[in-house]
Structure 1
Amino acid sequence: MSARIGDARRPALPTWRIATIAGLFGLFYAYAVWTALDFLILQANGYLGLNGLGWFVLLFAVVFPILVFAAAFALGWRRVAWQFALILLTGLALVAVLWLNVLAFATTSFSIYGG
């Protein structure tokens, strides 16, 4: 009844399937990163510039998709294909919600500008 200490749990999917699913979803996560980075550069070079809060909010919007992808990958890579894809899709939805919140905050509040 005791498990061997040296045994590592094998993934439920072959490596090529893990890489394919993660790669396809990774393109969407990369799009979110590049969009946030583009918005950060545009706002920083704008007429008013950014203050400390603006830099924090917009840099967090760049880093957040990377962190969510890493967390979703760590949670799902040992599961079956549809569960892995669903976890990555849920993370992508979370990234989209944060991005919409950042855009809404940037367009309705001037507290991030004027650095």
Structure 2
Amino acid sequence: MGPAAASGSPAAKRTPVWVVVAISVVFGLFYAYALWNALAFLIAQASGPLGLNGYGWFVLLLAVVFPVGVFGAAFALSWRRPAWQFALVLFTGLCVVAVFWLNVIAYAAVYGASLLG
């Protein structure tokens, strides 16, 4: 063991790659669920009798893309941190995705006619 590893440097405290992959896969499944849920809602709304207008497409496509962006940002911000911090950042991002999805559903329920063509 070299002096850098013995002194408690950041390289000595780095989370093993397999732990990062395991945490990413577990949280990635939840993010994927949010993405597929948004995609299913988009397809259901678009294939309805009235279809969607431009604003409806924008809102519902944003709901599909948003989980991917949040997962990417959370991963990029925290993959070099300790495992518990990495998991906490991914969980926080998942909470943000859930709040955004609830806002989309609430908007669709209250102002649904403005989304339809």
Pair in the same fold by TM > 0.5:
yes
State the alpha-carbon separation in 2 of the partners of residues 96 and 113 from structure 1: 23
Instruction: Report the CA distance between 1:104 and its aligned residue.
Output: 0.4
Structure 1, gaps ≥5 residues long: 1-8
**SS of residue matched to 1:29:** helix
Do structure 1's residue 111 and structure 2's residue 114 form an aligned pair? Answer: yes
Q: Which residue of 2 aligns with 1:22?
A: 24
Q: How many residues align?
A: 106
State the alpha-carbon separation in 2 of the partners of residues 12 and 105 from structure 1: 43
Identity %: 63
Q: Which structure has the larger Rg over C-alpha atoms?
A: 2
| 1:112 aligned partner, one-letter code | L
**SS of residue matched to 2:115:** coil
**SS of residue matched to 1:111:** helix
Q: Which residue of 2 aligns with 1:63?
A: 65
State the alpha-carbon separation in 2 of the partners of residues 71 and 101 from structure 1: 21
| 2:115 aligned partner, one-letter code | I
Please show how residues 21-60 of structure 1 align to structure 2 within 5 Å: 21-60=23-62
What's the TM-score once normalised by structure 1's chain length? 0.89
Q: Which residue of 1 aligns with 2:7?
A: none
State the alpha-carbon separation in 2 of the partners of residues 13 and 27 from structure 1: 21
Do structure 1's residue 84 and structure 2's residue 109 form an aligned pair? Answer: no
Do structure 1's residue 96 and structure 2's residue 98 form an aligned pair? Answer: yes
Do structure 1's residue 72 and structure 2's residue 74 form an aligned pair? Answer: yes
Instruction: Report the CA distance between 1:33 and its aligned residue.
Output: 0.2
Instruction: Report the CA distance between 1:48 and its aligned residue.
Output: 1.5
What's the TM-score once normalised by structure 2's chain length? 0.88
State the alpha-carbon separation in 1 of the partners of residues 50 and 84 from structure 2: 46
| 1:76 aligned partner, one-letter code | S
| 1:58 aligned partner, one-letter code | L
State the alpha-carbon separation in 1 of the partners of residues 83 and 14 from structure 2: 8
Aligned-residue CA RMSD in angstroms?
A: 1.2
